A and B are shown apart, each in its own frame.
Chain A
Amino acid sequence: MQEECVSLQVCVSVVGALECVVRRCLGPDGGSVLFTRDTGETLITRHGQSLLNTLHLQHPMARMVLDCVCAHAKATADGTKSFILLLATLLRGIEDSHMHRKGSWSIPNLQNLANRLLAVSRKELDNIVTHKITPYASLYCSHHSYKLEGSALDLLIGGYISGRVGIGQADVLKRVLSEFYHKVNQDQNAVETISFIHSNFSFLHTPVTGLPIGCSEVIEGLVVTCDWSVWTEPAGSVKALILYESFGASFAAVGENISVCIQKDYMHRSENIMKQKLASLLDLQVRVVLSSVRQPESVLQWARLNHVSLLECVDSAQLDFLSNISAAETLSYPPLQHLVMLKYCRRVQLGGHRYACLGTFSHTHTLVLCAPAPGLLDQIVCVSQGVFAMLQHLSESFCQTQSPCSDRSQSTLSLQDLWGGIMRAGGVLPVGGVFEFLLHYFLLNERNSCDPECCRLLAEALLCLPRTLYAHNHRRFLNFQTHFLDDLKEWDKTKERESEMPELKFGFGFNESSASGLESVSGKKQLLVSVLQCLHRLLCVGAVLHTRSPLCAGPQTHSEEEEEENPERSNSTKITDA
């Protein structure tokens, strides 16, 4: 009978250890972890995913949890540390209820519980979020709109950033990211803009080390992180040629006498061919050549003589991006060459380097992120990327909820001011644990719930997040808890009458430090669903089988999982050496 409890105990210890690592970095008051390598490299991070990836975890359950965390982070870019905290608290809650029930948790019971929790996440959670939390959020935002300075977008960005970088850096980043978004958007479709920024972020930003963070800015045009090989300032808009191969043919030198004669003729002929190609370029009035490979010296000489600017060794993915946004024209002959119209070409000095800047007609802007050290720069780039991933997730889920209503006029209107629309529809809440408190209250007071035990488990576990956020000031947490829950009770009562809304004292009175931020309700809901799915996987592990030879390198974790998710109860042995 003992081995049936082992898997829950092992889960608790594994996730408990991860929780102890991650909990110290949660929230605006959290710290960072410094990792050092024997080679002297250091990494300072408080990003949940980097933290977990840097640890040496060989335990299969730990690797499984790590996989789940990475999958969740890919979708929402938010809540990796909260994931681990929630998971650990839920597991401990399950273990506690096991101790209280004076019986052992057998594997079928655990699996039953896991299924019930998943069912709660699908039905009751949806219910509560749609019918209780969303109306509350929209009412709250409409009542406090006078206090919400700045647009909803700024508050969303502020809410995301403030928990991830220091205060001084947060102000700068907030300003720069907001500016970047508005410049790229240019009053167009916000949904498309966010999607565009999110999928092309790697081309739209340039990291620069050695400068203070305050030097981060938004530059018009596309910055390419190489310098011009041949540079003449072209006036006005120019035609540019994008090519992916070298003009001169490449040939291997052969050291035989007879081959020399053939080579001589070959070289002469290939030179002629190259001259013809270059002459045709001049006919097309190409003034700029962008090449993804290095060109031979003769091409450089030709460029200098004919006042053509040449940029070499550009990333081919970036060249593809440029062709896409500039509606490039593909030449029929020779192949692999595109012609684009560029608004202007410039040389910019960023940090200690000179880079090329290409202006396009499609209002591209580049976000230049500066930081004194490479580690800090990585963090800032990561946070900026995360902001847009989070916004993308929010806009996607908002559009999904809007589409069933199929009101064309309303949908086009909301697209003009997507973020205001989201706020009015109740898609955002203030940061700082409000969502967790709301969900806790509604889960405990859900009258028509078909599974009160699971709701109670989940409700108790949810409070671990605000408790950790305010770990430095426990009294504040208790204050918040009492006032907020009292307010909620009042609101619940008056909601029936729908006359007036009681003055909600929490939130701004509580968080006096700065203007509060907002966070997305759908992101938080997704976090909960992901945690419950991971919990289901963990609880359904019947046995851990150790093999002597390693499983295949790539899908290693997947094949381990197939062995682990073995629901046989009686005949599964504990640990075998294959």
Chain B
Amino acid sequence: MALNADDEDFEWEPPSEAEMKVIQARRERQDKISKLMGDYLLKGYKMLGDCCELCGTILMQDKQKKNYCVACQELDSDMDKDNPALNAQAALSQVRERQLATQPLPESNEASSSEPPLSITGQPRPEHCEGAASGLRGPPPAIQSTPISVPTASSNFLPPATPALQTAPPLGSVANTLLNHPALSSAEEAVLHKLRWATQELQNSVSVEASIQLCSLIRGCAESLRSLKELQLS
């Protein structure tokens, strides 16, 4: 092959701030994966020649011949980190951004609901943001993230369902205090529906990890039901 340098070499521009952050984050994730893989290699796991279908990481196999993907099962997914529906921090930063962009309005205490933060539209008051933050650090991430991360066939069922459920609350959340109840009741309904589904899945589940995740989902649903009840009473 000819040793000519590519023309692209001399068109190098320094990457922008955002790109640097992405590169940095990806590098850190890659380092974490490598470290985990190295630890598992030392524990006697075998490095297989296959890659995981979901994330492309190299699969490891333990002594019981069970395949194990380090990234899917131990690290959070790369993309989910930035999705406000799944991550409290991302949600909080989105809320703050909107708060900075517009003036605060004296309305909308939907922030105190335990629904996903997509329901919080652009005009929350600062103190309600705090409430949103405290509410978000609780069950909601557990509810939303666990169904996505269960790598069973039933996961295909979930993504279409959750956006559908999420669209319902935002419509209800624009209303003021008097229209609380329909929003809360629809929220309750959604959570109960999820709870029923989870119990059904739990009965049919054969994998230990899936069962553990389903149990945490059920726990999350129960906690959110409790907070919803508290809201209704207050």
Contacts and interface: CB of A to CB of B under 8 A. Distances in A.
Interface of A: 6, 9-10, 12-14, 16-21, 33, 55-60, 62, 92, 96, 99-103, 108-109, 111-112, 115-116, 119, 451, 453, 544, 546, 575
B41 A99 contact: no
Contacts of A20: 34-35, 37-39
B56 interface: yes
Contacts of A59: 47-49, 58
Given A19-B38, A21-B42, A13 B33 contact: yes
Given A56-B44, A102-B13, A6 B56 contact: yes
B189 interface: no
Contacts of B13: 102
The 3 A-B pairs with the shortest beta carbon distances in the complex, nearest first, are A20-B38, A16-B34, A17-B37
B6 interface: yes
7 contacts: A56-B44, A96-B27, A102-B15, A112-B3, A116-B5, A546-B49, A546-B50
B1 to A, nearest CB: 5
Interface residues of B, number: 36
Given A16-B33, A20-B38, A99-B15, 11 more contacts: A10-B51, A17-B38, A17-B47, A17-B58, A18-B41, A55-B41, A56-B44, A56-B47, A99-B23, A109-B6, A575-B50
A571 B15 CA distance: 33
Interface residues of A, dominant DSSP: helix
A112 B1 CA distance: 7
B234 to A, nearest CB: 51
A58 B12 contact: no
Contacts, number: 95
A6 to B, nearest CB: 7
B3 A116 contact: yes
B46 interface: yes
Given A58-B46, A58-B47, A16 B1 contact: no
B83 interface: no
B58 A57 contact: no
B38 A13 contact: no
Interface in B55-69: 56-58, 61
B154 to A, nearest CB: 26
Contacts of A99: 15, 19, 23
B45 A56 contact: yes
A62 to B, nearest CB: 6
Given A58-B47, A101-B12, A112 B6 contact: yes
Contacts of B14: 100
Nearest to A56: B46
B109 to A, nearest CB: 44
Given A20-B38, A451-B3, A14 B58 contact: yes
A494 to B, nearest CB: 34
